[in-house]
Amino acid sequence: MVNRKLLTVALTLIVAMSTIGCSGISSAAAKADDYKSLFEVSSSKDDDKKDHDKDDDEDEEKDDKDDKDEEDDDEDKDKDDKEDKKDDKEDEDDDDNESAGLSEKEIRKKLGDDMDSAKCGIEDAVYELPAKVSQFEKNGWEIDETNTDEYLDAERLGHVILKNGKKILYLEVQNFDDYTIETKDATVTGVAIQDDYNIQMYLPAGIDSSMEKDDIKDALKDNDIDYDLQDDYSTYYDLFEIKSNDAQIDIGTDKKTEKVNAMQIYAFVNNESDYQGAPEAEVDTLDSEDVDIDYSKPKKISDITDFELDGELYSVGAPVSAFLDNGWELEEGVNTDNQVDAGDKGSAILVKGDMSLRLHVKNDQKSTVDIKDAVTLVVDASDVNFEVWGGFTDGDKISNIKDDLDSDGIEYDNVGKSVTYRKDGVSLYVKEKDGKATGFSLDAIGAK
């Protein structure tokens, strides 16, 4: 079960942290050879016996053929039954998610009070997760192709950004197949909103995005729904966390106004096979080529984009190869792309001993590049030897880091026991464990 939480940056990094699948996995189709009998009557003194044996052979071959035809018929029937069952399920899903033009009263009636179902209302429609992107499109939402990756690698989680006028809706999608698909064909497992885009979202038990903190408490109490309220989760908002066997709901409320500023619901998928079978994508992958990257290794940490890892200096914008040259290794798997298409983004996991890095990268070239030639946008490091802007290093007490930031007049945000501070659109998140700094996340997506 995946545990997801609203981060300090709320949902604005959903696009940033999405990954793209650049090459499909071809699955070879099994081909059965036609059965051919090797038995032949070699000789016989009696022609009648030979003819009789021949007739018997022909009868046996006919019987074998009839048996094979019956097996084929059974296989075809099983296949038809399976396809009919899948079609019926898709029809049921469509029925559950085609309720548009509904009044608030109708939406609340459809949602009911059951938090175990991953149902939500968006504007004038009701959706039950898992769903399909097309079900949102039927209700007037359009895919923001600029901020949504075209392809999704095998067994990957990604995101779709939907637009409807000035309103923006975030979808979490998953590819449960073992090959690359178009992102629009992935299964929708999560829906999220921010108050910036004035979207009305409804949840079971009478909860909606126009409520305030106390209203949500009352609704949960009235319906005997267990929840976890984290008042110290962030400097700017409190977090309601509601879990059931099939879904998780997170609701962020502003500390000052106590109004909802973010809301999201996720479905837990137990039977992944029910959501397999999406069309395999035909990815036009260009040949990777060597590229010239405008990057110079910093001589010291002089800006928030500079950092030191295991004794080596880097800056955001460094190619993945800069880390590989210093002993880091790519961890192959579904979380590391092999290559990144022109203008797209990707991700890579690097390891060095017990240390690990998660990189979010981009390709600004006009052709596909190998992952080692993509440049970094986000560096997320765990359990590493590091130094970041401000002179903070691994092992420093978080309380001392906050004191130093206060002394320097730098505003920061508490995220749990960790701390985030910003400069020129770049955010630096220092991770905490047992009161000390153990890693960091440097995000330059919004750099000025």
Query: Average pLDDT for residues 37-52, to the nearest whole number?
Result: 30
Domain boundaries, position 425: 306-443
Per-residue confidence (pLDDT) for residue 154, from 0 to 100: 82
Of 9-13, 262-266, 368-372, least confident by mean pLDDT is: 9-13
Largest CA distance in the chain: 112
Q: How far apart, in whole angstroms, are the C-alpha atoms of residue 224 and residue 234?
A: 26
Query: Average pLDDT for residues 386-405, to the nearest whole number?
Result: 95
Question: Measured between alpha carbons, how far is residue 25 from residues 150, 166, 185, 271, 282 in Å?
Answer: 16, 37, 16, 22, 10
Strand partners, 3: none
| Helix or strand (DSSP H, E) at 132 | strand 131-132
- Domain end: 275, 297, 322, which one? 275
Do 179 and 115 share a structural domain? yes
Per-residue confidence (pLDDT) for residue 287, from 0 to 100: 59
Per-residue confidence (pLDDT) for residue 70, from 0 to 100: 54
* Backbone CA torsion sign across 187, 277, 281, 99: negative
Q: How far apart, in whole angstroms, are the C-alpha atoms of residue 400 and residue 387?
A: 15
Q: If you search the block for the tokens 């979490």, which residue do you land on?
A: 172
Do 322 and 249 share a structural domain? no
Per-residue confidence (pLDDT) for residue 170, from 0 to 100: 96
Query: Average pLDDT for residues 408-426, to the nearest whole number?
Result: 91
Tell me whether residue 53 is in a domain. no
Q: How far apart, in whole angstroms, are the C-alpha atoms of residue 33 and residue 298?
A: 63
Q: If you search the block for the tokens 């009352």, which residue do you land on?
A: 218
Do 262 and 180 share a structural domain? yes
Tell me whether residue 135 is in a domain. yes
User: CB count, 10 Å around CB of 291?
Assistant: 16
Long-range contact list for 321-327, CB < 8 A, 24+ apart?
321/372, 321/373, 322/295, 322/297, 323/350, 323/357, 323/359, 324/350, 324/372, 327/352
Per-residue confidence (pLDDT) for residue 10, from 0 to 100: 35
- Tell whether the model's pLDDT for residue 139 goes beyond 80: yes
Strand partners, 412: 421
| DSSP 8-state code for residue 278 | P
- Tell whether the model's pLDDT for residue 150 goes beyond 60: yes
Query: Average pLDDT for residues 186-191, to the nearest whole number?
Result: 96
The model's confidence at residue 35, banded by pLDDT at 50, 70 and 90, is very low
Do 122 and 190 share a structural domain? yes
Number of domains in the chain: 2
- Tell whether the model's pLDDT for residue 277 goes beyond 90: yes
Query: Average pLDDT for residues 95-121, to the nearest whole number?
Result: 84
Query: Which residues, other chains included, contact 154 with Cβ-Cβ below 8 Å and sequence gap of 6+?
Result: 21, 24, 25, 175, 177, 178, 179, 180, 334
Per-residue confidence (pLDDT) for residue 22, from 0 to 100: 29
User: Tokens in use for 341?
Assistant: 């298409």
Do 264 and 187 share a structural domain? yes
Pairing of strands 247-254, 260-267: antiparallel
- Tell whether the model's pLDDT for residue 437 goes beyond 70: yes
Tell me whether residue 30 is in a domain. no
Residue pair 320/400 in contact by the 8 Å Cβ criterion: no
Query: Average pLDDT for residues 251-279, to the nearest whole number?
Result: 94
Do 312 and 271 share a structural domain? no
Q: How far apart, in whole angstroms, are the C-alpha atoms of residue 29 and residue 93?
A: 30
Query: Average pLDDT for residues 6-31, to the nearest whole number?
Result: 29
- Tell whether the model's pLDDT for residue 12 goes beyond 80: no
Do 367 and 322 share a structural domain? yes
Do 241 and 158 share a structural domain? yes
User: Tokens in use for 353?
Assistant: 């001993």
The model's confidence at residue 41, banded by pLDDT at 50, 70 and 90, is very low
With CA atoms as reference, report the closest residue to 184 among 154, 150, 208.
150
With CA atoms as reference, report the closest residue to 186 among 168, 160, 162.
160
- Tell whether the model's pLDDT for residue 290 goes beyond 80: no
Query: Average pLDDT for residues 299-305, to the nearest whole number?
Result: 95
Please tell me which of 59-68, 93-102, 289-298 the model is most confident about, judged by mean pLDDT.
289-298
Q: How far apart, in whole angstroms, are the C-alpha atoms of residue 268 and residue 291?
A: 42
Do 240 and 364 share a structural domain? no
Tell me whether residue 342 is in a domain. yes
Tell me whether residue 169 is in a domain. yes
Distance in angstroms between the alpha carbons of the first and the last residue of the chain: 37
Query: Which residues, other chains included, contact 423 with Cβ-Cβ below 8 Å and sequence gap of 6+?
Result: 303, 304, 389, 410
Do 232 and 117 share a structural domain? yes
Which parts of 218-311 are beta strand (E)?
Answer: 228-230, 237-243, 247-254, 260-267, 306-309
More confident residue, 250 or 56: 250
Tell me whether residue 5 is in a domain. no
Per-residue confidence (pLDDT) for residue 64, from 0 to 100: 54
Tell me whether residue 54 is in a domain. no
Residue pair 437/393 in contact by the 8 Å Cβ criterion: yes
- Tell whether the model's pLDDT for residue 95 goes beyond 70: no
Strand partners, 122: 125, 201
Per-residue confidence (pLDDT) for residue 196, from 0 to 100: 83
Per-residue confidence (pLDDT) for residue 289, from 0 to 100: 60
Do 322 and 245 share a structural domain? no
The model's confidence at residue 20, banded by pLDDT at 50, 70 and 90, is very low
The model's confidence at residue 294, banded by pLDDT at 50, 70 and 90, is confident
Residue pair 195/262 in contact by the 8 Å Cβ criterion: yes
Do 267 and 310 share a structural domain? no
- pTM for the model stands at 0.58
- Tell whether the model's pLDDT for residue 389 goes beyond 80: yes
More confident residue, 427 or 9: 427
Residue pair 18/158 in contact by the 8 Å Cβ criterion: yes
The mean of the pLDDT values for the chain is 80
Query: Average pLDDT for residues 254-269, to the nearest whole number?
Result: 94
Q: Residue ranges of the alpha helices (H) in 189-346?
A: 213-222, 320-324
Q: Count, in order, helices (H) and strands (E) of the chain.
A: 6, 29
Of 8-12, 92-96, 145-149, 422-426, least confident by mean pLDDT is: 8-12
